[in-house]
Chain A
Amino acid sequence: MFKKIVDSTIFSGKCAKDHYRLLKRKVIFSMFLMVTIPLTIMLTINYFQYKSYHQNQIMLPLQEISEKTMHSFELFMEQQLAIIKFISITYNFESLKHKKTINKILISLKKEYKGFVDIGLIDSKGELISYAGPYSLLGKDYSMQTSYKETQIKGQYISNVFLGYRKNPHIVIAVQSFSNESQNFILRATISTDFFGRFIANMGLARQSDAFLINSQGIFQTNSLYYGNALEECPLKIINSHFQPYNFKKKDTKNRDIVIVSSAFTIADYILVIVQPYSVALKSWYDFKYDMVFVFLISLAIIFFAIVKLSNILVNRIKISEEHRESVLTELQHAQKLSSIGRLAAGVAHEINNPLAIINEKAGLLNDLIALSDNFDKKSKFTEISNSIVKSIERCRKITSRLLGFSRRIDVKIESIQVNDIIYEVVGFLEKETLYRKLDLILSLSDSVQPVFSDHGQLQQVFLNLLTNAFAAVENELGTIEIETKNSIKRGVIIKIDDNGCGMSQETIEKIFDPFFTTKKKEGTGLGLSISYGIIKKLGGKIFVESEPEKGTVFTIHLPEGSEEMETNYDKTKAKNSSY
């Protein structure tokens, strides 16, 4: 996929800059997707896994508390029941009928066990026949009450909270027993509901949590903090099973998310309910969730940053290698063009040279004959014409000579040379012209320039060529030409030839190394620079040109350090190239 992006981006369109920007965007986008998709999937999975794990971890302790408290309740109630049962067995029906006895029992109960309010004896017909306590209930008929009926059936009974005759919330514990005359009677005690609150407070629940008792009809048995008071109907629907604690989530009356944990009693019709808001119950989960999202976002930012950095590097690398490839290609094309033109030129030059030699001889002979003959009409005219032919031939000869020079395979003679020495030699050739034209020739030659392995004669030709060009470009008296040499960082020598002459336009610069391109019209053959280019290439160097019209031109040559083996290497490449 990545390759495709690269290819498609590189080969479509012309605007290279947009190209790379587009490529960069594509790379960033695809890399980002590739990284974020799995990360997001992982995060989502983790989110749900952690969520359920956390919920279990939070629910479990709540359930435990609920169970424990429920058992405490049951234990307490069973204890009360056992006390009443014990009394009913210990004291017979007759003794219980005595007010004195029953009063004594109540006093002992109140002293030993907290919560007892009163105690009474109900006979088989349902009439309260003996009573000890703060209320005057003696003679009241209980036969129609649930507590009486239930006790008759089950032998014992623990009631829900109710107000009853005395208009005070309480619960009833009743135990059936039998007198000596096989008459059944019921011992009935009332317990205040204060202890409920005590148990619930002991649960030690978190803030904003609520715990209360309800019965199976959903009537509050204790006051609730948020949902109502005892004996009111509970607004929350609690579904319950007797076999296991139940928990579920729902919204409460204030539209808060809540968790409900409930445990049902076995000995009485009570359900213990714990209500906790989600925010409290799952606080750790929420914290964790935020942490997780935070970490995710942070890593996303880091990834994004890294990807952008990486893409920048990548795209820049691609850009550089592309540009490099392009320049190599251009160079190769140029070299091929040069070599094919060279071959063609050599062929043409050679073929033309023979007839040229004949013409030369013929014209020369003509000249000789004219010179030998007596004066005749237009003798001088004839001489002029034949001389002109000879001159033209001389011009042709120069051209063919250069053409051949351009393509000729001159043996590269590699030796250790001092570039400065060559420059002094070449400058020597041009000294007269410098003086005559009053030009300023500055030599900034570094003494520390290292010797290089190269070809003396060919370098001489190149420098001479570049300098003649520079001389041609500058004006008399105003012209300044500077030659600079220094060591290159890449082991070699840099030679700069800088003139303040007429300079060149961008268009011209692009063509100056092409053979036959000339701006000198009559004087030049357009081969000098292309020959120089060929020579520098052959010697493993590079030649650059910078120029601005009316400002001047700088030619920079990089010559490699080279080695003595260069010659043989060059011959090898030559052989390789000429094979196609």
Chain B
Amino acid sequence: MKIKVLIVDDEKEFVDTLSARLEIRGFSVTAVYSGKAAIEMIEKLKFDVIILDVLMPEMDGIETLKLIKEKSPLIPVIMLTGEATVDNAIKGMKLGAFDFLIKPTDTERLAEKINQANAYKSEHEERIRQAEIENILRTKGW
């Protein structure tokens, strides 16, 4: 099953090209161009990893991240940032982002990060599942 990736960035050209490259690398990519659209999208669909630009007009990366974490705290978010906004990316890490990458990105590394994030997520989900099963076993049935 392909890893479902949501890319959020206001720079359309960039997002589209990156999408194409990630598609080539076997990811299922959805691209949106604003934080608002991203929120709407995660309400509609399930994603494995979100790539989020820090600097965006209207709703910026940090705000979007907060909302995403509220709605689906388990989805790992990789922050994409320009050199000037590294501080914000670090802030994002504190708010629960999985990692950050500085633009222009090395796609191979990004792909690697996405895989890591997915693995982390899967592991996380697995643990939760395990915990739930244990809980059921402990309470001996529903």
Contacts and interface: CB of A to CB of B under 8 A. Distances in A.
Interface in B82-130: 82-84, 86, 102-105, 107
A401 B81 CA distance: 12
A346 B84 contact: yes
B21 interface: yes
A362 B84 CA distance: 22
Contact of B104 (A349, A350, A360, A404): A360
A357 B84 CA distance: 14
A393 interface: yes
Chain A interface extent, by class: 20 to 34
Main secondary structure of the interface of B (DSSP, over half): helix
A113 B52 CA distance: 151
A418 to B, nearest CB: 27
B13 interface: yes
A404 B84 contact: yes
A361 B18 contact: yes
Given A364-B107, A408-B83, 20 more contacts: A346-B84, A350-B83, A353-B103, A354-B14, A356-B103, A357-B11, A357-B14, A358-B13, A358-B17, A360-B105, A361-B14, A361-B18, A364-B17, A365-B17, A365-B20, A368-B21, A368-B25, A393-B104, A397-B104, A405-B83
A364 B18 CA distance: 9
Q: Which 10 A-B pairs have the closest CB atoms?
A: A360-B104, A361-B17, A357-B104, A404-B83, A357-B103, A368-B24, A358-B14, A353-B82, A350-B84, A358-B13
Contacts of B20: 365, 368
Interface residues of B, number: 18
A400 interface: yes
A15 interface: no
Interface in B70-88: 82-84, 86
A356 B84 contact: no
Interface string A396-418: 01001100110010000000000
A503 to B, nearest CB: 34
A395 B84 CA distance: 17
A405 B107 CA distance: 23
Given A362-B17, A404-B83, A357 B105 contact: yes
A76 to B, nearest CB: 127
Interface in B1-45: 11, 13-14, 17-18, 20-21, 24-25
A365 B18 CA distance: 8
A484 B24 CA distance: 55
A372 interface: yes
Nearest to B11: A354
Nearest to A369: B24
Interface in A65-92: none
Interface string A517-529: 0000000000000
Nearest to B85: A350
Contacts of B24: 365, 368-369, 372
Interface of B: 11, 13-14, 17-18, 20-21, 24-25, 82-84, 86, 102-105, 107
Main secondary structure of the interface of A (DSSP, over half): helix
A349 B86 CA distance: 14
Nearest to B24: A368
Contacts of B83: 349-350, 353, 400-401, 404-405, 408
Contacts of B11: 354, 357-358
**Residue of A346, A361, A362 ringed by the most chain B CB atoms within 10 A:** A361
Nearest to A405: B83
A364 B82 contact: no
Contacts of A358: 11, 13-14, 17
**Residue of B24, B84, B104, B105 ringed by the most chain A CB atoms within 10 A:** B104
A401 B17 CA distance: 23
A393 B17 CA distance: 16
Nearest to B103: A357
A401 B82 CA distance: 9
A400 B84 CA distance: 10
28 contacts: A346-B84, A349-B84, A350-B82, A350-B84, A353-B84, A353-B103, A353-B104, A354-B11, A354-B103, A356-B104, A357-B104, A359-B104, A360-B105, A361-B104, A362-B17, A364-B17, A364-B107, A365-B17, A365-B24, A368-B20, A368-B21, A368-B107, A372-B24, A397-B104, A401-B83, A401-B102, A405-B83, A408-B83
